């Protein structure tokens, strides 16, 4: 974290939570910012290091149950992410990372484990693993196209009144009640891998626009669009 003017991305705990290529979310944000002339600095924050409070966008990914519990404990103890969010930082939390943002989540035996309480959600273990492609229509207030991605999780998530569902599933399980993910303030949580921001560049731009405080110029998305169309056509009937 050197330059004051660069957009500061913090990729949280790649040594614990880095399954399914979720690090690609950081790469997509970097690339889409740089293509608009916005310089970016990305910190790959190991779990042995303190969480810097001065980041603009924090990213956390999916993982197995035990590293997830360890990550939650370390983040709770550290407090830096909570302070960053309190001063308005943007956050994308995926799968295990999404569950950690809530009040509690289910450990490897289903026992409740304390999360950070940054999102008004509670997760527990479902009866069976939710695996496969997911497509979901985004909350109209966010004005984003249909989400695409894949999911692989045991946990299911109950949304409290302090969050809004990110989307409603057309294919897939998501939170388990017909919704997928949630958002509150500048925090977005989702079960989607893909990576989520490679499959859904409009979501990447929404996060970037929150962080820079203004709308972003459009860029050529031919390759992103091809990936989206191919994945959506594979699972959805033609409209």
What residues make contact with ligand GLN under the rule CB under 6 A?
19, 62-65, 68, 95-96, 152-155
Three-state SS at 46 = coil
Please identify the residue of the shown chain whose CB is closest to the bound ligand GLN. Answer: 62
d(CA 105, CA 112) in angstroms, rounded, equals 6
Tokens of 190: 């989702």
On the CB side of 237, CA atoms within 13 Å amount to 2
Q: How far is the CB of 109 from ligand GLN (least distance, A)?
A: 12
Q: Which residues contact 29 (CB under 8 A, 6 or more apart)?
A: 9, 40, 57, 59, 197, 204, 207, 208
Q: Which residues contact 218 (CB under 8 A, 6 or more apart)?
A: none
Three-state SS at 214 = coil
Q: How far is the CB of 170 from ligand GLN (least distance, A)?
A: 21
Q: How far is the CB of 142 from ligand GLN (least distance, A)?
A: 23
Whose Cβ is closer to ligand GLN: residue 95's or residue 118's?
95
Q: How far is the CB of 198 from ligand GLN (least distance, A)?
A: 17
- Active-site residue numbers? 95, 193
Whose Cβ is closer to ligand GLN: residue 108's or residue 230's?
108
d(CA 182, CA 64) in angstroms, rounded, equals 21
User: CA triplet 136, 142, 146: central angle to 5 degrees?
Assistant: 25
Whose Cβ is closer to ligand GLN: residue 16's or residue 29's?
16
Whose Cβ is closer to ligand GLN: residue 92's or residue 96's?
96
């Amino acid at each position: 974290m050197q330059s004051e003017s660069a957009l500061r991305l913090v990729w949280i705990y790649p040594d614990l939570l880095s399954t399914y290529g979720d690090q690609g979310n950081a790469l997509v944000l970097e690339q889409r910012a740089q293509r608009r002339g916005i310089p970016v600095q990305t910190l790959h924050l190991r779990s042995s290091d303190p969480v810097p409070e001065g980041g603009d966008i924090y990213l956390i990914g999916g993982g197995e149950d035990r590293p997830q519990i360890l990550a939650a404990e370390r983040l709770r103890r550290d407090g830096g992410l909570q302070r960053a969010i309190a001063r308005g930082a943007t956050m994308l939390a995926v799968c295990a990372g999404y569950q950690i943002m809530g009040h509690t989540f289910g450990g490897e035996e289903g026992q409740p484990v304390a999360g950070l309480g940054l999102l008004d959600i509670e997760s527990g273990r479902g009866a069976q693993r939710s695996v496969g492609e997911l497509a979901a229509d985004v909350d109209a207030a966010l004005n984003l196209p249909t989400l695409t991605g894949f999911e692989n999780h045991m946990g299911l998530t109950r949304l409290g009144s302090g969050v809004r569902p990110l989307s409603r599933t057309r294919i897939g399980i998501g939170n388990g009640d017909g919704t997928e993910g949630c958002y509150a303030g500048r925090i977005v949580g989702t079960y989607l891998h893909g990576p989520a921001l490679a499959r859904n560049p409009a979501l990447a731009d929404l996060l970037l626009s929150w962080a820079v405080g203004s709308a972003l110029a459009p860029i050529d998305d031919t390759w992103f669009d091809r990936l989206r169309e191919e994945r959506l056509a594979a699972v959805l009937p033609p409209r």
